[in-house]
Structure 1
Amino acid sequence: MDTRNKEVEFRDYDKNPIVIKDYAFYDYMKYYTIATLIGCLFFISVVTVVNPIEPKNFRLLPFALVMFFIRRKQQKGVYFVFNDSDIKYYKEDKAYKSLKFEQIGAVAISFDPRWDRQQRISIPEMLFLSLWPLGAYVMRGMHAMIALISMIAISLFGAGILMHLKNGSFRCLGIHDRLVIYGETGDLRIINVLIYSEKEYLELKEYFMRKTHIDLDTVPRTLSVFSKKVKFRKFKF
């Protein structure tokens, strides 16, 4: 097949754009709820085996489901659209955030769900969060601290693992399943796309190769969207 025929077959992304749900508001919340409940049950089982706790101490456990129902109500019209000239994020079917190709400063594949520079955790906040395992150790012992850390890990990593195991995409994506597109703009816009399946990843990989000559297989893999692995021409975090 000659070059002209290949060009004819190229996808017109204005007429046929890539549209991806914001799965943080859709299916992902189901897996996150399951992982959180598994983590909570693990923590409870470990702690109560060593030192029984009164049932009344678990009365707040059902509130683990509250976020799920809140997100379900907010899920209408939340998606990403990849066109020939830009990338847009929609909420309630209205463009909420957009980036033109010339505004893209960096691209990474991350585990981190954050989408705004203001969500960066400060050092005092990190110190405060680190006190939770220490508090569990002081109040209940080493087993409680290990159980709490395990619960947090299950909640953080379990949702993505469950989702990709079900979709058969874990081998392709693993825990690094978020395409993070950074705008090299004054407000350092961040578009964070949760990739649901291997099919979506391959579709986005082809899109970026054609439109920006960026190979998603070679961009940095990070746990944090604010990682130093992400390099900008002009701006820094």
Structure 2
Amino acid sequence: MKTALITGANKSIGFETAIQLIQQGYYVYLGSRDLKKGEQAVQQLHALGLTAVEALAIDVDDKESIKEARTTVGKKTKTLDVLINNAGISGGMPQTPLETDPGIFKQVFETNYFGVISVTQAFIDLLKLAPAPRIVNVTSGLGSLTLHNDPTWKYYPYKASAYMASKAALNAYTISLAYDLRDTTFKVNSVDPGYTATDFNHHTGPGSIEDAAARVVKAAVLGPEGLTGQFFSDDNSPETGISPW
């Protein structure tokens, strides 16, 4: 059975992603900063008849927590087929470039950027042992510098300075990581789940959690012909499914 680790998966898009992966035959390590909340999420999945899952305590802001999570997973499996870096924070709104405290920038980057790097580096050894490993970095359309400089773009006014910068940085990391693993069977991509109704945005987004998770899962189960080093976004680029960086 293939295995997958999803960070920030005790609710919302991460939780639905777990559901869809389990339904496709994956065993999921459901990552949660709060283990109790993770275990509650697992109980919900069990109630749905989805049992190929277990909660995993992992705080992407805490290197010791990441190390302990890696040790725990390593005792249960020799390989990891999929890593989905889903955990993220907004940093609160509004975020103007001149008035937002630099501490907010640091906090957002710690989770959305440095957390992804730390988790990826911690689990890369298990991923390398899988025959066709996949890494999915959950980003945002707001991470596109090209679109942010286009006045005709539908989200052009949404300049959340800390959040957009963290996702742009995450996209840059995706490009670099995909290049570093270019001669392997890895597929490494950024995925924009779309403007989705979640707690993250006080349920203001028009998209459904099911559709958002399906976009993430699509990249997680890419076949050998799939692309790597891409910024997938049905929301920003419905015709091609690939967003400009």
**TM-score past 0.5 threshold:** no
Q: RCO greater where, 1 or 2, for CA within 8 Å and sep 6 or more? A: 1
Higher strand content, 1 or 2: 1
Higher helix content, 1 or 2: 1
Q: TM-score, normalised by structure 2?
A: 0.26
